[in-house]
Amino acid sequence: MHSPSVSHRNAVNRILRYLKSTPGKGLMFSKNGDLEVVGYTDADWAGSITDRRSTSGYFTFVEELGFKPEKPMELHCDNKSAIDIAHNPIQHDRTKHVEVDRHFIKEKIEKKIIRLSFVKSENQLADILTKAVYGRVFHDSLTKLGIGDIYALEC
C-alpha cells in the first residue's frame, strides 16, 4: 500500500473482476449440531517474491459456544516437520527461531486444548489464503467452507 506498482494494480483488478462475476457468493451458516472446534492452518514461509515476507492463514470452524469442549480442538496442518517440532520435548539449536511459537503450541498440546493432526495438502483448506491454487482446488475449497452462490441456491 505504501508503494503500489503495476503488478499491485493488476492484482486488484483481478480481485475486482472476480468479485464482479460472483455477486451472490456468501457464507451460509447452518445449524448442524456439531460441538467440535476444528481449525486449518497454513503458512507460506518467505513466499513473497518482492519482499520475502511470509503469509499465514487459518480457518476455524466453531459451533455452539458456552460449553466446555469434550475433547481437544482439532488443528489440521500440512507440514509434518512443524507437527514433529511441536511434539518434540527437546528444543534444538536449529529451531531457536520458532522457540516462542513452539512453546505456545506445546503448552496447548500438553493441556489437551488442541491436537495437531496432519492433513494432505489437497485437503488443506487454508491453502487458498496463503498461495495461488488451481481454479478447481479454489472452488472445491469454497464448497467445503460452505461458501455458495445464493442465486444458484434459489433455483
- Where does residue 117 fall: left (phi above 0), alpha (psi -120 to 50 degrees), or beta otherwise? beta
Q: pLDDT value at position 155?
A: 45
pTM for the model stands at 0.64
- pLDDT tens digits, residue range 103-114? 788 888 889 999
> What is the average per-residue pLDDT within 95-106?
66
Output 27 or 43, whichever has higher pLDDT: 43
3 state DSSP class of 38: strand
pLDDT of residue 2: 80
Contact at 8 Å (CB) between 133 and 48? no
pLDDT in tens, 113-144: 999 999 998 889 999 888 888 888 888 888 88
